[in-house]
Chains A and B, each alone.
Chain A
Amino acid sequence: MMRLSRRHVLAILAAGTALVFAPEAQAQKPIKIGSFLSITGPASFLGDPEAKTLRLYVDKINKEGGILGRQLELVIYDSAGDAKQATTFARRLIEEDEVDIIIGGSTTGETMAVVPIVMEEEIPFISLAGANVIVEPVKKWVFKMPHSDRMAVEKAYEDMKKRNLTNVAIIGGSGGYDQSCRKEAHAVAPKWGIKIVADETYAPTDTDMSPQLTKIKNTPGVQAIFGCGFGAPTSITARNWSQLGMTNISFYFNHGVASQQFIDGAGGGAEGIRLPVPALLVAEQLPPGDPQREVSLNYIKAYREAYNQPVSGFGGHAYDGLHIALEAIKRAGGTDKAKVRDEIEKTTRFIGTDGIYNMSPEDHMGLSLDSFKMVEVRNNTWKLIE
Chain B
Amino acid sequence: MGDRAQKSLFDLSVARKVQGTAKHSPHAPLSATEAAPGGDGAVRTVGAWLFSARTGGVLLLAAIVAILPLFLPNKFYFDVAIKTALHAIVCVGLNLLIGYAGQISLGHAGFFALGGYASAILTARFGWPGLVAMLAGAVGVGVLAFLVARPILRLKGHYLAMATLGLGIIISIIINREIPLTGGPDGMSVPALWVGPWRLTGPITWYWISGVTLVLAVWLALNLVESPMGRALRALHGSEVAAETTGIDVTRYKVLVFVVSAVFASIAGSLFAHAERFMTPVEAGFLRSIEFVTMVVLGGMASIFGSVVGAAILTALPQVLAVFHDFKHLALGAILIAVMIFMPKGLVPTLAALWRRRVG
Residues of chain A having any CB pair with chain B under 8 Å: 1, 3-4, 40, 76-78, 81-85, 87-89, 91-92, 94-96, 107-109, 112-113, 115-116, 120, 131, 133, 174-177, 179-180, 183
**CB neighbors of A among B170-212 (8 A):** 173, 176-177, 179, 184-187, 189, 201-203
Give the contact stretch, choosing among B248-256, B295-303, B319-327, B333-341. B319-327
- Tell me if B76 counts as interface (CB < 8 A to partner A): yes
Instruction: Flag if B184 contacts A183 (CB, 8 Å).
Output: yes
Docked complex Cα distance between A364 and B202 (Å): 26
- Encode contact with A along B72-103: 1 for CB under 8 Å, 0 otherwise: 00111101100100000000000000000000
> B124 to chain A: closest CB distance in Å?
13
Q: How far is the CA of A59 from the CA of B40 in the complex (A)?
A: 72
**In the complex, A4→B328 CA distance in Å?**
13
Report the Cα distance A83→B325, complex, angstroms. 18
B311 to chain A, nearest CB (A): 13
Contact between A82 and B76 (Cβ–Cβ < 8 Å)? no
In the complex, which residues of chain A have a beta carbon less than 8 angstroms from the beta carbon of B74? 95-96
Residues on B with C-beta less than 8 A from A82 are 280, 282
B282 and A91: CB pair below 8 A? no
Task: Tell whether B127 is near chain A: CB-to-CB under 8 Å.
Answer: no
Chain B residues contacting A3 (CB-CB under 8 Å) are 323
Q: Is B276 within 8 A of A113, CB to CB?
A: yes
Tell me how far the C-beta of B297 lies from the nearest C-beta in chain A, rounded to whole angstroms: 21
Please tell me if the beta carbons of B75 and A91 are within 8 angstroms of each other in the complex: yes
B240 within 8 A of A: no
**Can you list 14 residue pairs at the A/B interface with Cβ under 8 Å?**
A78-B328, A85-B318, A94-B75, A96-B74, A109-B187, A113-B276, A113-B280, A115-B278, A133-B186, A175-B185, A176-B186, A177-B185, A180-B186, A183-B184
8 Å CB contact of A91 from B76, B280, B324: B76
Q: How far is the CB of A224 from chain B (nearest CB, A)?
A: 23
List residues of chain A with CB within 8 A of the CB of B179. 179, 183
The answer to whether A109 touches B76, judged by C-beta atoms less than 8 angstroms apart, is no
A83 in contact with B177 (CB, 8 Å)? no
Chain B residues with CB below 8 A from A40, complex form: 329
Q: How many A-B residue pairs have CB under 8 A?
A: 98
Q: Which 7 A-B pairs have the closest CB atoms?
A: A176-B185, A95-B74, A113-B278, A95-B76, A91-B76, A109-B280, A109-B187
Least Cβ–Cβ distance between A196 and chain B, in angstroms: 15
B313 to chain A, nearest CB (A): 15
Judge whether A180 and B278 touch: CB under 8 Å.
no
Whether the pair A84, B177 counts as a contact (CB closer than 8 A) is no
Cα–Cα, bound, A180→B79 (Å): 29
The reply to whether A92 and B76 contact each other, CB–CB distance below 8 Å, is: yes
- The contact of A84 among B76, B202, B283, B324, by CB within 8 Å, is B283
**Interface check B150, CB cutoff 8 A:** no
Q: Is B277 an interface residue (CB 8 A)?
A: yes
B270 → chain A closest CB, angstroms: 15
What are the residues of chain A within 8 A of B324 when measuring CB–CB? Answer: 4
Flag if B187 contacts A112 (CB, 8 Å): yes
- Assembled-state Cα–Cα distance A41/B187 (Å): 17
Report Cα–Cα, A83/B183, bound state, in Å: 14
- State whether A96 and B76 are in contact (beta carbons under 8 Å apart), knowing that A133-B186, A174-B176, A176-B185 are contacts in the complex: yes
Interface residues of B in 26-79 (CB under 8 A from A): 74-77, 79
Of the candidates A88, A109, A174, the one whose C-beta lies within 8 Å of that of B79 is A88
In whole angstroms, how far apart are the Cα atoms of A131 and B276 in the complex? 20
Judging by beta carbons under 8 Å apart, are A88 and B323 in contact?
no
C-alpha gap A81/B287 in the complex (Å) = 13
What's the Cα separation between A109 and B278 when bound, in Å?
9
Given A84-B276, A94-B76, do A109 and B203 touch, yes or no (CB 8 Å)? no
A94 proximity list for chain B (CB < 8 A)? 75-76
A107: chain B residues within 8 A (beta carbon): 186
Q: A254–B276 Cα gap in the complex (Å)?
A: 32
